[in-house]
Chain A
Amino acid sequence: MTLVAVIATFTAMAQGRMDMCINEVMVQNGSCADQNGKCQAWVELFNASYGTNAIEKMFITTFKQDYIQDYFKKMESKSNKKRNVLLEELRDQYPDKVYEIPRGDVDTKIKPRTHVVFYADGDTTAGTLHLSFTLTPASDNYIALYDVNGDLVDEVIVPANLQAGQSFARKSEGLPSDMHKGGNHSFDAAQWEMRDGTTIAKAITPGKFNVRPVNENIEKFKNEDPSGILLTIMSMGVVFLALLLLYILFKLFGKAFTASEKKEDDEPATAAPVAEPAAQAGDSDEAIAALCMALYQHLNAHDEESGVLTFDHSHEAHSAWGSKGNLLLHMPERHDNH
């Protein structure tokens, strides 16, 4: 049972990490400096879920998906090592291509709907948020994110024609289901665009939302239903429908229970021979009351109950409470030893 609970917990955690995605990439950075004042290439991840995700032990790599899959197949045929172990071995072989996010850093706890920026400077000594690889300008850059179990979470191919000072970003951050449509974690170029920072719509936004979040519902109702009639009709409809269904269900339940109770009442008593004379005598209230009175007298029932608390005169003249002699301290006894 405990094992099931543990497995369920880990599965849930894995699901949460699956909501992480690569959100924006810059290959030739001319303006956005890291904490050391250096302008490096960067990769932004986004936690699309509504819960905090710990991304420690996840992998970011420039190895293409085909290569990793072939590697997994080859190695799995030789041994029964798990995929994350295989990725760790790959990291040891190619540290400049695979980066495993270290454990224990508070920066790896990504809050709901927030971003984290990794600098692709190849300098892991600079901190957790510095990748072990760099990106190559003027050529396609493939970046993939793998789960702690070694499953692909997201991938992106940054096109070679991305200019210096431009970023390659998702058009918008949506709900978790929007980020990996239909559970598909592979790259979909239609969801991405190049940004040069010339307009708000084309802003480069490391650590921030690509599109300023707006409550679309409110805007929609503000523009399309300024009087509120539509919302009123819909909402009253839902309230009525919910309670109408409850009404119908419990009307049916009520009928069923009333019918079954009536049936039980109508059934003749099979194991109550004592009740027979009463039934034969007639079932009027007066008759039942008379029978009860007769039984009461017959059984010599009386009103004097056992366990009644009362005062009882003691046969002793003095109790411990009333006797002065009992309340007085005894005189100390003198012992003459000599």
Chain B
Amino acid sequence: MVLLNIAENLKQFWEFTGFYNVTLSPESLIMLCVGLFFIYLAIKHDFEPMLLVPIGFGILIGNIPFQPGNEIGIYEEGSVLNILYQGVRQGWYPPLIFLGIGAMTDFSALLANPKLMLVGAAAQFGIFGAYMVALAMGFMPDQAGAIAIIGGADGPTAIFLSSKLAPNLMGAIAVSAYSYMALVPVIQPPIMRLLTTKKERLIRMKPARKVSQTEKIIFPIVGLILTCFFVPSGLPLLGMLFFGNLLRESGVTTRLAKTASNAMTDMVTIILGMTVGASTQASEFLTADTVKIFALGFMAFIIATTSGVLFVKIFNLILPKHKKLNPLIGNAGVSAVPMAARISNDQGLKADPSNYLLMHAMGPNVAGVIGSAVAAGVLLGFLG
């Protein structure tokens, strides 16, 4: 009798374990491999480790098979993971990340040469190009908008918009956005070389002028008022971005700026990455739509890079000779800061080892952050 009880309890425990439950959902093993691959990419190849390690580990957490009903899983109401996940679902984390981005971004490069804002605007065509393709692939307008925002190369913006327009696709969109952001050094350089001539790559840009502190203080205030009067739906992102920047530049809130750009951003990044990863459960993630989303995301990055570089080339046609821009900074119009700007610099140095483009590329790069947030606001306004 006692032996029977022990056997029954052990059987019950066996049914509780992941080993048993994995037989019921073997596809979770695939997701575990995806999570391990992300961690490998981050640690071994240093691809966006700050993002891919939390996301990769989150995928492991979210795909350990378990018996439902014990308030464990991320989709089980009341569980710890579910509570943390509310920040993603309700869109709390992305604005907090934007506060940190604002507090750590120096807009001097942009203010010194404000025409670079237009390069940041041009690269947003990646978003709308992908939107049209997504519609052609059969997605509904709101889903297409949520997928297309991957082209902005901005993880928090992608999460924010997808949580509003297509919450069921958010996991795939977020993972896709962060994956391609990590792969920017692989995706962008061939396109940049393909679209530029040797002569164009050698263009030396005029050194940037010194920007006064007053200009730096005025920028977040005017920027907020101007952009948010156009796109009030972008207020959560743009408001926090410019607020963070004012904390940085005002000179009287250094302590707040430090906290926003360091401790707070780190905490939110950890929780955001982990919960986004954990939300990619096999049943939700391993679908034909995910494959399409990844394909569309890739396409969006290519379109964004192409449109940025081509815009600079066209812009050069109307600029005087001494003010011409190096088209290698066009790729930086996507908002993967500062990765995209670094790529501009690397490519510039390959063409001419003494031509440093980093500071010039930071202009369109930070303009891309504003541009993608405005684009997200526009999509939310039209489709929300």
Chain A interface residues (CB < 8 Å from chain B)? 215, 217-218, 221-222, 225-229, 231-232, 234-236, 238-247, 249-251, 253-254, 257-258, 261
Q: Chain B nearest CB: distance from A210 CB in Å? A: 22
Chain B, interface residues (CB within 8 Å), range:
35 or more
- By the criterion CB–CB under 8 Å, are B132 and A246 in contact? no
Q: Which A residue sits closest to B238, measured CB to CB?
A: A242
Query: With the chains together, A257 CA to B111 CA distance in Å?
Result: 12
- By the criterion CB–CB under 8 Å, are B141 and A218 in contact? yes
Q: Is B6 among interface residues, defined by CB-CB distance under 8 A?
A: no
- By the criterion CB–CB under 8 Å, are B114 and A245 in contact? no
- By the criterion CB–CB under 8 Å, are A242 and B227 in contact? yes
Task: Encode B127-143 as 1/0 by CB contact (under 8 A) with A.
Answer: 11101101110001110
Given contacts A231-B141, A247-B118, 17 further A-B contacts (CB under 8 A): A215-B142, A217-B383, A218-B142, A231-B131, A232-B132, A234-B378, A235-B375, A235-B382, A239-B121, A239-B375, A241-B230, A242-B121, A244-B118, A250-B114, A250-B222, A254-B215, A257-B215
Query: With the chains together, A27 CA to B265 CA distance in Å?
Result: 58
Chain A at the B interface: SS class: helix
User: Among A217, A243, A253, A257, which residue has its beta carbon within 8 angstroms of that of B121?
Assistant: A243
A247-B117, A250-B219, A254-B209 known; A242-B231 Cβ under 8 A? yes
Q: Is B182 among interface residues, defined by CB-CB distance under 8 A?
A: no
User: Among A235, A244, A251, which residue has its beta carbon within 8 angstroms of that of B378?
Assistant: A235
Task: Encode B96-137 as 1/0 by CB contact (under 8 A) with A.
Answer: 000000000000001110110110111011011101101110
Q: Write out the residue numbers on chain B whose beta carbons fall within 8 Å of the beta carbon of A218.
A: 140-142, 383
Chain B residues 131 to 161 lying within 8 A of chain A, measured CB to CB, are 131-132, 134-136, 140-142, 144
Chain B interface residues (CB < 8 Å from chain A)? 110-112, 114-115, 117-118, 120-122, 124-125, 127-129, 131-132, 134-136, 140-142, 144, 209, 211-212, 214-215, 218-219, 222-223, 226-227, 230-231, 367, 370-371, 374-375, 378-379, 382-384
- By the criterion CB–CB under 8 Å, are A249 and B209 in contact? no
Q: Which B residue sits closest to A249, measured CB to CB?
A: B222
Query: With the chains together, A261 CA to B209 CA distance in Å?
Result: 12
A238-B374, A249-B226 known; A231-B215 Cβ under 8 A? no
Q: Write out the residue numbers on chain B whose beta carbons fall within 8 Å of the beta carbon of A254.
A: 111-112, 114, 209, 211, 215
Q: Chain A nearest CB: distance from B166 CB in Å? A: 11
Q: Which A residue sits closest to B128, measured CB to CB?
A: A232
Query: With the chains together, A221 CA to B144 CA distance in Å?
Result: 11
User: Among A217, A229, A240, A253, which residue has its beta carbon within 8 angstroms of that of B215?
Assistant: A253
Q: Chain B nearest CB: distance from A254 CB in Å? A: 7
Chain B at the A interface: SS class: helix
Q: Chain A nearest CB: distance from B381 CB in Å? A: 9
- By the criterion CB–CB under 8 Å, are A246 and B222 in contact? yes
User: Among B136, B226, B378, B384, which residue has its beta carbon within 8 angstroms of that of A246?
Assistant: B226
- By the criterion CB–CB under 8 Å, are B131 and A250 in contact? no
- By the criterion CB–CB under 8 Å, are A246 and B382 in contact? no
- By the criterion CB–CB under 8 Å, are A221 and B382 in contact? yes
Q: Write out the residue numbers on chain A whose beta carbons fall within 8 Å of the beta carbon of B124.
A: 236, 239
Q: Write out the residue numbers on chain B whose beta carbons fall within 8 Å of the beta carbon of A229.
A: 132
A247-B114, A251-B115, A254-B111 known; A238-B231 Cβ under 8 A? yes
- By the criterion CB–CB under 8 Å, are B120 and A243 in contact? yes
Give the top 5 A-B pairs by smallest Cβ distance, nearest first: A232-B128, A228-B132, A250-B114, A243-B121, A243-B117
Q: Write out the residue numbers on chain A whose beta carbons fall within 8 Å of the beta carbon of B135.
A: 226-228
Q: Chain B nearest CB: distance from A180 CB in Å? A: 22
- By the criterion CB–CB under 8 Å, are B226 and A245 in contact? yes
Ordered by A's residue number, 16 sampled pairs between the chains whose C-beta atoms are within 8 Å are A221-B382, A222-B140, A228-B131, A231-B141, A236-B121, A236-B128, A238-B374, A238-B378, A239-B371, A239-B375, A240-B122, A243-B371, A246-B226, A247-B118, A251-B114, A257-B214
Q: Which A residue sits closest to B136, measured CB to CB?
A: A227
Query: With the chains together, A250 CA to B135 CA distance in Å?
Result: 37
Q: Write out the residue numbers on chain A whose beta carbons fall within 8 Å of the beta carbon of B211.
A: 254
Q: Write out the residue numbers on chain B whose beta carbons fall within 8 Å of the beta carbon of A215.
A: 142, 383
Q: Which B residue sits closest to A233, measured CB to CB?
A: B128
Q: Chain B nearest CB: distance from A43 CB in Å? A: 32
Q: Chain B nearest CB: distance from A215 CB in Å? A: 7
